Amino acid sequence: MSLKIIFQDDHFLALEKPAGLVVDKAETNKDITLEDILISELKINLPRGGIVHRLDKDTSGILLVARTKQALENLQAQFKDRVVKKEYLALVHGLIEKAGTVKGAIGRNPGNREKFTVLLGGKEAVTEYEPIKSLQLSVFSLQEIFEDFKKIQMRKLERQKYGEFTLVKCKPKTGRTHQIRVHLKYINYPIVSDEKYVGRKMFRLDRRWCPRMFLHSAKIGFNHPEKNKWMELESKLPEDLKEALVRVKGKA
């Protein structure tokens, strides 16, 4: 698999992880992983192929990979000390009118070990969010997407206000598993096509027009591990998510 590299030098590289690619090897995963590719194709001889941090399987965007042991340790320390600044783009259900911060400790969901949730005794987690644009599926788009729906089903969509969305900029201040997904769900603005957290019925509706979870790692800022110079790298929204956005338009 060819990976798109945004930046590289002798110390580290930044790549665009495609959606659907698992980052780390695991006994439960039999597919090729990013770790496999980095070790076999890029010949990076470091633990986890030099991967500094991780993104969920269906999240796309920027990911940092070290080329040397020194760079790996430096970048990992920057993440641990919260020097690194991350920015994600998400499309969520509902209309968010103003920016805010979610503070809610996160741990495994006692009822489903594959999910995480906000709960007492979890690990500290903080996410800042800011609405970029309010969006809405037009009546024409709704009729096109749900052309097989009967009138009673369409009226139910209208009552649920299905079709109202917000494009949101998220800045996680901590790095918990599923953090952005869990926090947006916690404040009742779940991410479009997020199979784990949007709910089964909503997920089936979303997948008719958005092929996967609408979450993208769009920007990262950090100190160069060798030169100690601040760097900022960006990743544009991939085509599949751009096409999903075409289906919704800004509210006047």
Catalytic (active-site) positions: 56
C-beta pairs of 116-125 under 8 Å, 24+ apart in sequence: 116/176, 116/177, 116/178, 116/182, 117/182, 117/186, 118/182, 118/183, 118/186, 123/174, 123/176, 124/174, 125/172, 125/174, 125/176, 125/179, 125/182, 125/183
Q: What whole-number distance in Å separates Cα of residue 3 and Cα of residue 211?
A: 21
Contact, 29 vs 8, CB < 8 A? no
